[in-house]
Amino acid sequence: MPGKHRAHREPSSTYRLQVTERFDLDAAREVLPYLDDLGVGWVYLSPLLEAHPGSDHGYDVVDPSRVDPARGGPEALARLSEEAHRRGIGVVVDVVPNHVGIESPATNGWWWDLLRHGRGSRFASFFDVDWEAGEGRVLVPVVGDDDLGDDGRIGNLRLVDGQLGYHDHRFPVAPGTADGTDDPQVVHGRQHYRLVGWRTADHDLNYRRFFSVNTLAGVRVEDRDVFEATHVEIGRWFREGLVDGLRIDHPDGLRHPAAYLDDLAGLTDSAWVVVEKILEPGERLPDRWRTAGTTGYDVLALVDRVLVDPAGEQPLGDLDDRLRGGVPPWPDLVRANKREVAETILNAEVRRIARELARELGVAADEEWRGPVEAVLVELLAAFPVYRSYLPRRS
């Protein structure tokens, strides 16, 4: 019966709905009677801010200043919130503070402006770009192997309506850089970015990204201006009472997770917030963090064990031994895989740490210096006992 329970400061339970263009916020509102009958405490909505066109997951936000029109827009969120609260159901929304989507630069005004104006962009400080490593340019890893010429020319590069086109990609042209030429190679050489082979990303990328996903660029949410720009719409949700809590995606991607959660508490009047934090066995969530807890990976690991018959361990283990010829002890396997990641798909990040160390120490980051330092960093990361450190303590 509708109204038999009411929203509290903390949910008794949550039920997640994946909001997409095909299942928008109005469609989500229509299932609220069913969730009410189930006794669900809060409805948990996937990311709602404007995402890359066609994105079903919503974690590739391109405009954090508004609810995605493709998902129903702010009016549909208001309708869902009103009906949920009428039934006593709270609303929690998934939020992505670490990165934005840059797959199609024209859809992300901040990234487009950065590519067009380089260091002079008013959004240059929003992104973590190592300009020196790119010789003053942002490296954009999109070029296919067949289009990389030995002479440095890029195949299938052309000028399209005042923009640089590469297959279906479009990139901005800096003011005045296309004057007096119609050669796209010449125009490309004058830009604040450089299109490079897609394979170079793992070793040479010079902007921070989400893991090894080149199309998700990290933003400096630790800076107050960036925090306010990326959370302007989220703040409105709480000022107008539309949303009751937040699920924070990948806080470990942030420079200072604890400081971010402090800022978020100030924005939301200390609303209920949980974080998607990966904890190693025996590791505790930092007490300093202003959060109600994690999203439950550690609990799910325990539940998973309850649902798995331990009698299957021996026959499945024997089968694995026969198929793979045996495996090393678990700690050795973990360490070897961490080392492989540090040497391959995340090697660009290792190399950036080495460059940062050189700058801190005031030494030249030449190959003779970097090689041994990068090797030490790889071994340090392979031996790291937890997902990440939280130094200094304010992190």
Q: Which amino acid is at 112?
A: W
Burial of 91 (0-12, 13-18, 19+ CB in 10 A): buried
pLDDT of residue 198: 96
- Cis ω on the peptide bond leading into residue 392 (within 30° of 0)? yes
pLDDT of residue 8: 57
- For range 16-31, the mean pLDDT: 98
- For range 89-113, the mean pLDDT: 98
- For range 239-253, the mean pLDDT: 97
pLDDT of residue 5: 38
Euclidean distance between CA atoms 354 and 162, whole angstroms: 39
- For range 102-114, the mean pLDDT: 98
What is this structure's pTM?
A: 0.93
Greater confidence, 79 or 370?
79
pLDDT of residue 3: 38
- Using 50, 70 and 90 to split pLDDT, how confident is the model at 297? confident
pLDDT of residue 392: 66
Alpha helices in the chain (DSSP H): 25-30, 32-38, 73-86, 109-117, 184-189, 201-204, 224-230, 232-239, 257-268, 297-307, 313-324, 330-343, 347-361, 367-383
- Using 50, 70 and 90 to split pLDDT, how confident is the model at 346? very high
Going from N- to C-terminal start, the domains of the chain cover 14-98+221-299, 105-212, 332-383
**pLDDT reading at 68 higher than 70:** yes
Quick one: tokens of 327? Answer: 């495996």
Which homologous superfamily is 14-98+221-299 in?
A: Glycosidases (3.20.20.80)
Report CA-CA distances (Å) from 134 to 63, 138, 170, 214, 320: 26, 6, 20, 16, 45
Could you tell me if 84 and 32 are in contact, meaning their C-beta atoms sit under 8 angstroms apart?
Answer: yes
- Using 50, 70 and 90 to split pLDDT, how confident is the model at 394? low
**pLDDT reading at 100 higher than 70:** yes
The 8-class DSSP code of residue 2 comes to: T
Euclidean distance between CA atoms 166 and 343, whole angstroms: 30
The 8-class DSSP code of residue 386 comes to: S
Closest to 217 (Cα-Cα) out of 129, 108, 100, 110: 100
Q: What is the CA radius of gyration of the chain?
A: 24
**pLDDT reading at 167 higher than 50:** yes
pLDDT of residue 9: 82
Quick one: tokens of 272? Answer: 């209920």
pLDDT of residue 395: 58
Euclidean distance between CA atoms 81 and 86, whole angstroms: 8
Least confident of 6-10, 186-190, 211-215, 263-267: 6-10
**pLDDT reading at 4 higher than 50:** no
- For range 247-276, the mean pLDDT: 96
Long-range contacts formed by 295-304: CB under 8 A, 24+ apart: 295/247
Fold of 105-212: Maltooligosyl trehalose synthase, domain 2 (3.30.1590)
pLDDT of residue 6: 44
Give tens-digit pLDDT for 179-215: 888 899 999 999 999 999 999 999 999 999 999 999 9
% pLDDT > 90, the chain: 82
**pLDDT reading at 82 higher than 70:** yes
In whole numbers, what is the pLDDT of the chain averaged over residues?
A: 94
Least confident of 17-26, 267-276, 309-318: 309-318
Euclidean distance between CA atoms 257 and 251, whole angstroms: 6
**DSSP labels for 167-214?**
TTEEE---TTTTTT---HHHHHHTSSEEEEEGGGHHHH--B-EETTEE
